[in-house]
A and B are shown apart, each in its own frame.
Chain A
């Protein structure tokens, strides 16, 4: 029983079904209606520092490659590579140091001197200090990917059905869920509710402090391919890793198979505030036109916003919850949920079927956050 029909829920459904389990996927909204439908579909290793998240990203990248073979063009998988550029010598030093550490962790990195940047990206601005190419970075169309993974899993999909309670037996173990349209009994419940992961955890009586982190994306008119890679500045890695609630914007620019150029990325913790913010969109446009001056005359067709599910240490919660037998978590992937979905689904399927997970799940333990001190205790 998987709660949440976004990318992560779809991947959990697929790998659990392939491990021989019967899977029901329930979502109170539509398929891919949350973060998945608002994202760009990044499958990135480049923006991760060496550590558990990078290990999960590398495993996920391999699995995405396998799925791409199987699903063909249906999910618009594009192994286009990422190009991270630095505008100053100081930031280039930081970038190459990071790349060296990533290389040790198994990431393929290629240093690109300033005079060779235009061979990779002919329309890039002049005067950049240099960059690093990450050939393993790729992209999928996230909604298509979620839909096709659900379809390939053969799982029963129930959209528009809200989970109102997690049912537990006298020993405290999960025995299913109550929904607004009747109970669904299952010995295991996977919380893949993304930004609403905290609410689903609370239905089972446990705390998982997932908070929404808002981001805007600008979409341009369709263009012939002029941006070949995913291109972003070295500052982006710092912004992703930052735990500040304040607005952070660093330009992330990429062309898509369908033609439009996508421009991100902003991060701010403002709750679920869905109102438009012109200053944020202006900052995104300014960053993008600095990287690619030709974009000045290209029109933004639309802007949209979404919320990334963010845990305090920016690592997801993946695996069984020791506090509630039968409850599993697969949420809190911040802006990396599409990329990390396959590895997450794979690990969840392994733990669901009692096997040893391929990666150490300790850093992703859902109970790693200390209980909040009761506010009435001084």
Chain B
């Protein structure tokens, strides 16, 4: 009697969304899993396009067994019609209405058509996006984000370049460096601005998450295997090249977090994968009016936001990696299913996931603090001529002028005065850099439209909502792996 099941829309099919979808479907709700990619998996379990016939995709993936189990469970639910997977659906707005929600998503290769999906509850598993801080030369072709390089590796199995440097800070750099090396690139250096001492300070939290330490040790072993030199407490101060990247200048950081004089040296490379951690994707949550804490969506023990009927799980509630996302997704799915079917959730039903959640949140808080410690003085390396907002071509000098001369004291005013963050990416790429240069806090931007929507779509009378209990729409052919719109890759042309 699936028709009488309440409908839960799960937005995002990464680890959190998948865990939520299978948990909720098992507990008596009908799940509509909505995701922008052609295949389930998200950024973490990004799948090679089917047409490529990759023989050993697991070589690029961690937690392959967990993925296979999740995937098999999802397939069972899909076959039993308890889950509908709407792939290549780009959600631009979730509307609150009496008695539920309508999820609006753009479809088709041109994204010029919109569909509406009705649901009784919404579970946001929208993940995170990459934070990249600007430095001179970062807009040169050949400079990609760490996540963009990884997405290309996982999705298309193409090698972004022959000689790569991986730089920045954060745990993502390790799998990117080993992944590039495994795919045959020469990784000339892994330049990490945090140093061993930053980690020692948080030693107590490490003990609580020993599996994570083993994972870290595994990467360290693979770095050695591929002969990737790990340069810690160092930074890329400049990317150089005529027309495209030819080399980077790397320098050691002194005790104040500045490049120490006399330590700069040149490393030749044609690819620089750079990343400074991740930030939560919160556009849909903000459009719904969910309360945020800093840059993450606030949730309670049941993963409920403060908006009734809206749950959130995974990186959107704070960056914490795939295992934490799985735990949160599982809890959110079970709690949402209970609430939507009129039952009172029993936390004992997810006690192991809750324990993992507690442990991993404290681990990632400490990890975040360790990585955040460096590079404290990065803004000093950014010259006035450096373009910080690529879409609107706003320089660091213009941002500094808005603060120093025109009296801007917050991110929004800086944006209004300089147009930084007002272009295509709506500040998703440049906001952390602009905030840092302006010396103000990174505040959520309140993007009421989660993605650009044709005015004709907005103007049209809302279409009849899709009946999620109807057979799923036929799958559209997968996009070519080398499509220029690879996520998070500013120079992936």
Chain A residues with CB under 8 Å of chain B are 30-33, 37, 143-144, 147-148, 150-151, 157, 159-160, 218-222, 258, 260, 263, 274-276, 278, 281-282, 284-286, 288-289, 295-305
A219-B422, A296-B456 known; 10 new pairs, CB 8 Å cut-off, are: A37-B412, A37-B413, A143-B417, A148-B406, A159-B409, A276-B287, A299-B454, A301-B426, A302-B447, A303-B449
Is A288 a contact of B455 with CB atoms below 8 Å? yes
Most buried by A among B405, B417, B419, B448: B448
List chain A residues, Cβ under 8 A from B406: 31, 147-148, 150-151
Is A221 a contact of B413 with CB atoms below 8 Å? no
Is B112 a contact of A297 with CB atoms below 8 Å? yes
Within 8 A of A (CB), among B416-439: 416-417, 419, 422-424, 426
List chain A residues, Cβ under 8 A from B413: 30-33, 37, 143
Q: Does B174 contact A (CB under 8 A)?
A: no
- Nearest residue, chain B, Cβ from A141: B416
Known: A143-B417, A221-B452, A282-B458. A301 touches B412 (CB 8 A): no
List chain B residues, Cβ under 8 A from A159: 407, 409
CA distance A276 to B93 in the complex (A): 10
Is B95 a contact of A221 with CB atoms below 8 Å? no
CA distance A296 to B104 in the complex (A): 18
- Nearest residue, chain A, Cβ from B112: A297
List chain B residues, Cβ under 8 A from A148: 406
Min Cβ gap B280→A in Å is: 19
Is A278 a contact of B454 with CB atoms below 8 Å? no
Known: A144-B417, A222-B423. A33 touches B455 (CB 8 A): no
Which one of A32, A299, A302 contacts B448 once the chains associate, using CB atoms below 8 Å?
A302
CA distance A222 to B104 in the complex (A): 24
Is A221 a contact of B456 with CB atoms below 8 Å? no
Is B417 a contact of A285 with CB atoms below 8 Å? no
Which one of B407, B422, B424 contacts A147 once the chains associate, using CB atoms below 8 Å?
B407
List chain B residues, Cβ under 8 A from A284: 458
Question: What are 9 A-B contacts defined by CB distance under 8 Å?
Answer: A31-B406, A37-B413, A147-B407, A147-B417, A221-B424, A276-B448, A289-B459, A298-B454, A299-B452
Which one of B392, B410, B424, B459 contacts A282 once the chains associate, using CB atoms below 8 Å?
B459
| Chain A interface main SS type | mixed
Contact with A along B57-71 (1 / 0, CB 8 A): 000000000000000
- Nearest residue, chain A, Cβ from B425: A301
Contact with A along B270-305 (1 / 0, CB 8 A): 000000000000000001010000000000000000
List chain B residues, Cβ under 8 A from A305: 448
8 smallest A-B Cβ distances: which pairs?
A296-B456, A285-B458, A143-B416, A299-B452, A147-B406, A286-B459, A285-B459, A276-B448
Is A160 a contact of B409 with CB atoms below 8 Å? yes
Q: Does B201 contact A (CB under 8 A)?
A: no
Known: A37-B416, A299-B454. A150 touches B407 (CB 8 A): yes
Which one of A31, A282, A288 contacts B407 once the chains associate, using CB atoms below 8 Å?
A31
Min Cβ gap B269→A in Å is: 34
Chain B residues with CB under 8 Å of chain A are 93, 95, 104, 112, 287, 289, 392, 402, 405-410, 412-413, 416-417, 419, 422-424, 426, 446-449, 452-456, 458-459, 462
Is A300 a contact of B407 with CB atoms below 8 Å? no
List chain A residues, Cβ under 8 A from B408: 30-31, 147
Is A299 a contact of B407 with CB atoms below 8 Å? no
Most buried by A among B402, B405, B417, B423: B417
Is B416 a contact of A32 with CB atoms below 8 Å? yes
List chain B residues, Cβ under 8 A from A304: 446, 448
Which one of A30, A278, A296 contacts B95 once the chains associate, using CB atoms below 8 Å?
A278
- Nearest residue, chain B, Cβ from A29: B410
CA distance A284 to B446 in the complex (A): 19
CA distance A160 to B93 in the complex (A): 33
Which one of A144, A147, A260, A285 contacts B455 once the chains associate, using CB atoms below 8 Å?
A285
Is B412 a contact of A281 with CB atoms below 8 Å? no
CA distance A289 to B412 in the complex (A): 29
Which one of B409, B419, B459 contacts A258 once the chains associate, using CB atoms below 8 Å?
B419
Min Cβ gap A335→B in Å is: 18
Is A278 a contact of B93 with CB atoms below 8 Å? yes
Is A30 a contact of B419 with CB atoms below 8 Å? no
List chain B residues, Cβ under 8 A from A278: 93, 95, 104
- Nearest residue, chain A, Cβ from B458: A285
Known: A148-B406, A276-B448. A296 touches B454 (CB 8 A): yes
List chain A residues, Cβ under 8 A from B392: 258
Most buried by B among A150, A159, A299, A302: A299
Which one of B416, B449, B456 contacts A289 once the chains associate, using CB atoms below 8 Å?
B456
List chain A residues, Cβ under 8 A from B416: 32, 37, 143-144
CA distance A218 to B426 in the complex (A): 14
Is B453 a contact of A299 with CB atoms below 8 Å? yes
- Nearest residue, chain A, Cβ from B411: A30
Min Cβ gap B96→A in Å is: 8
- Nearest residue, chain A, Cβ from B391: A222
Min Cβ gap A307→B in Å is: 14
List chain A residues, Cβ under 8 A from B289: 274-276
Most buried by A among B95, B412, B459: B459
List chain A residues, Cβ under 8 A from B409: 30-31, 159-160
Is B407 a contact of A296 with CB atoms below 8 Å? no
CA distance A150 to B408 in the complex (A): 12
- Nearest residue, chain A, Cβ from B286: A276
List chain B residues, Cβ under 8 A from A143: 413, 416-417
CA distance A135 to B289 in the complex (A): 42
Known: A147-B407, A276-B287, A276-B448. A299 touches B455 (CB 8 A): yes
CA distance A167 to B327 in the complex (A): 57
- Nearest residue, chain B, Cβ from A36: B416
List chain B residues, Cβ under 8 A from A276: 93, 287, 289, 448
- Nearest residue, chain A, Cβ from B456: A296
